Structures are given as C-alpha cells and as structure tokens.
A and B are shown apart, each in its own frame.
Chain A
Amino acid sequence: MSSESNIPFSTLEKLFPFYIWINSNCQIISVGRSLKKLLPHSTIGINVNSLFMKERGGVLPIDLSSPDLEKKLYLLKSVSEDLTLRGQLIGMPDSSFFLAASPWVESPDNLIALDLDLADFAVHDPILDLLNVIQSERMASGEIKALVNKLSQQKASLKEANHSLEEQNRTVLKTQQELEIQASEARKLAHVASRTDNAVIITNDRGEIEWVNESFEKLTEFNLNEVKGITPGKLLQGPETDQKTVKTHERLPQKP
C-alpha cells in the first residue's frame, strides 16, 4: 500500500460525519456520528439497501459490481425518516466501500425537522453554504413581494388621487359654468338698464353715484362723468323739490 492510501479512518470520519461504510456484501460496517443521530436503525450488519428507497432519479439498489460505481451521484431516501442522503461511493483498499454523504436539505427548516445543527456538518460541507444561499434567496423574494405590494398600493392611491382630482376638476368646471351664467345674466340686466326709458341711477353703499343710464343723461342733461361720486339727493334737489320726496328718498335703503 502506498503512503497516500494510509489516511486514518478517523480522518475520513471527521470529514464525512454522515458517511456509511459497507463491506463487499453491502452490509454496514459503521456509520458517521451525525448519521447515527438520524438513522437509529442503521445498525451494523444490516444491508444498506434495506434502509433506503429510490429517490426520483436516484440509483438503487447500490450495486457494487457496477463499473461506473464511483461516478454515480447517489440519492438515497430513507425508508423510515424524512431524509435523503446525497453522496458518492468510493472503493477502499480492502474492497470495502465508503459512501461519503450529506443530507440533502432544501431549506434551513429541514435542519430543524431533522434535529441537526451546524456542528453536525463538516466545516467544509457546502450544504451549509447552500442553505445560506437559499436563505438569502428567500429574503430577496420576500422583498420583491413586499415591493410589489407597495407598488400596487401606490398605484391604488394614485388612482384615488386621480379620481379626486377629476372630481375637483368637475366642480371647478361647474362653478365656472355657473359663473358664466351669472355673468351673462348680469350683462342682460345691464343691457336692460341702459336701454330703458326710465332714468336709472346706481349708487354704492355710501349713496354715491356709480353709474347712470342714457335716459338719466337725457332727462337731467348731466353726463355720467359729471355725476359720478355725488349723491343723487345733492344733485337732484332744487328749491322746488318737494321735501317729502327728499325724506322718502333718505329713508330708502342705500345698499344695493
């Protein structure tokens, strides 16, 4: 035997705490410390093929005469536990076989279900890193979901804002229409006032003239510029004015 093949078995054990060591009849010689926790029935002497069934795409039974035995990826599903081992078989110098395996875990929760902790794995085992990747993927997809939610919420509130803007727009339009109607009515009134044969005087709340119509100008021969700002009383009272009429006018409401 060359010195390279003299790796002590205890070293292999440390590197593969889930190993299964079998003899040329597929009988178990020993199993790793971590696998022992998982397969209490994996007692020495039992045929390894009786412990596992075929996993999807897996190879079973373990056929030690198969020529490409060492090239196969073994997926072994436990018949009694919720556990799948993945690993590789290698021939040992004494014609026994060593299955270097690790549990296949698809999520960190599997670890808990199997009652395994990180110390049950060999430090080099990339399964742990795979778990980290899965963990971070999960976190990322959780965040994408949250973002999508947030976006839909924003969309909904934008829609709402849009809706109330539209509503406001409508009220503004309505007020505008109303204002237009009022303005046109005011124009009509103004038209009537300027065209009537009666003299019309419009005063402000202090009783001062703001506007007079044409009939007023014709009747009194004052034009608008001359009378603007004067109270009608002052303007229209002469010595012959009936004081009764003055009193009545004073009692009239001054505000429009």
Chain B
Amino acid sequence: MYGLVNKAVQGLVIENYGEETWDQIKERANVDVEMFISNESYKDSLTYDLLVATSEIVNQPASELLRLLGHYWINEVAVQHYGAMMDAGGNSFVEFMKNLPNFHRRVAMIFPNLEPPSFSILKEEKNSIHLIYESTREGLEMFVVGILEALAKRHKIEIKIDQCKSESDQPVEGVSQRLFIISWEPVS
C-alpha cells in the first residue's frame, strides 16, 4: 500500500503511545524504514506486519486498531492532506458517499501502483444506504467501519453499520466483496 497508509499507522501509534512504542513496533515488525513516503508504494505485508506488531505491543485487538485507524484516516490524514477535497466531496454524508466511488478512481489515476478499494452504492433509501466494498485485500472491514463512523461524525449524524456477508463470500478473481448497510436517525 502507499506510504500514506503506513504513515497513518505511524501517526496513530505515536499520537496514542509515543515515539518509543513506535520504534519498538517497527523493530518487532522488522520494518527498517526511517520515514515513509506517501507517494511511494510499499508491500502490503509491511502494513499488515506493522498492524500485527502494534496489536501485540499495545495489547489491543487488531480490529479495534483498524477502527481507530479509520477515524485517524478521516480526522487527521484526509483533513490534513485533502482538507479542501474532503469539504468539496459533498456537503452531506450521503453526498460524500456518492462521490466516494470516483474518489479512489481519481487517486488511482495519479498513483500507478495503487490498488484502491472500490465502493458503490447498491441502494439508497431515506435513512439508509447499502454500500458495497470491494477489495483485493482481506481483513480491512473494520477500517471501513472506522472511516464511515468518522465521516458520519463529520457530517453530524450518528450511523449504525450492519455488515452482511454477501452471497459471494469467497473472493472472485482475487476481489472480495462486502455489503454494509448503513442507517441513521432522521435529522430533524
């Protein structure tokens, strides 16, 4: 994954546990990188190794870390580096979610090695959407959940996320598909 993702892991750890813990994590994960470069592509295994080492060292389940990483992704990384684009992404949660599929596509155009997830809205109702998440990677569902939670908070709604196993639970041509049903209370 691109360095931006690893940088987010680093930022999250340092913010919550300090530099020393981060150095320990890098050592445990066997990652000898002084500084991640956002626009560089790194092996996926490096990111997973960092997450596993973090989980062991700070004694938190990986799923919870991914969720926190999702929050960090929106509240820090996206706002810091893509602030205006985030604001321009739509002035409501649903608007933003509708722009999301194109968003990664555009990012992928300028980063040739990017293997972005793809999102599509299957169904839109008044207070819910059915979001399909497709990825070549496994195990990042809680990252999506974290991002969605943080996005909703940014747009001042509280959402409930139900994760459904879709019919094709097995990856098809290396891509696995997940369905999220996102619902919220009507805003008065």
Contacts from A to B (Cβ < 8 Å): 107-109, 111-112, 116-119, 123, 128-129, 131-133, 135-136, 138-140, 143, 146-147, 150
Contacts and interface: CB of A to CB of B under 8 A. Distances in A.
Nearest to B91: A117
A119 B99 contact: yes
A150 B35 contact: yes
A108 B107 CA distance: 14
Nearest to B81: A139
A216 B136 CA distance: 96
Contact of B89 (A118, A132, A139, A146): A118
Nearest to B90: A117
Contact of A135 (B85, B89, B99, B102): B85
B82 A117 contact: no
B171 interface: no
A235 B84 CA distance: 101
B33 interface: no
A117 B89 contact: yes
Contact of B110 (A108, A117, A119, A136): A136
A139 B38 contact: yes
Contacts, number: 64
B187 interface: no
Contact of B37 (A112, A117, A135, A143): A143
A143 B38 contact: yes
Contact of B83 (A108, A116, A129, A136): A108
Contacts of B172: none
A143 B40 CA distance: 12
B83 A118 contact: no
Given A111-B84, A118-B99, A143-B37, 11 more contacts: A107-B84, A112-B87, A112-B88, A117-B87, A129-B106, A129-B110, A132-B85, A133-B110, A140-B37, A140-B39, A150-B34
Q: Nearest 9 pairs between A and B by C-beta?
A: A108-B84, A117-B88, A111-B88, A109-B84, A112-B84, A139-B81, A108-B85, A118-B88, A139-B38
A136 B88 CA distance: 16
Interface in B42-81: 81
14 contacts: A109-B84, A111-B85, A117-B90, A117-B91, A117-B95, A118-B90, A118-B99, A131-B85, A132-B85, A132-B106, A135-B81, A136-B110, A140-B39, A150-B34
A135 B38 contact: no
A244 to B, nearest CB: 74
A45 B110 CA distance: 42
Nearest to A109: B84
B110 A123 contact: no
Nearest to B84: A108
Contact of A136 (B34, B39, B95, B99): B39
A112 B109 CA distance: 23
A132 B85 CA distance: 8
B39 to A, nearest CB: 5
B90 A119 contact: yes
Contacts of B89: 117-118
A123 B84 CA distance: 18
Contact of A116 (B88, B95, B102, B106): B88
B82 A140 contact: no
B168 to A, nearest CB: 28
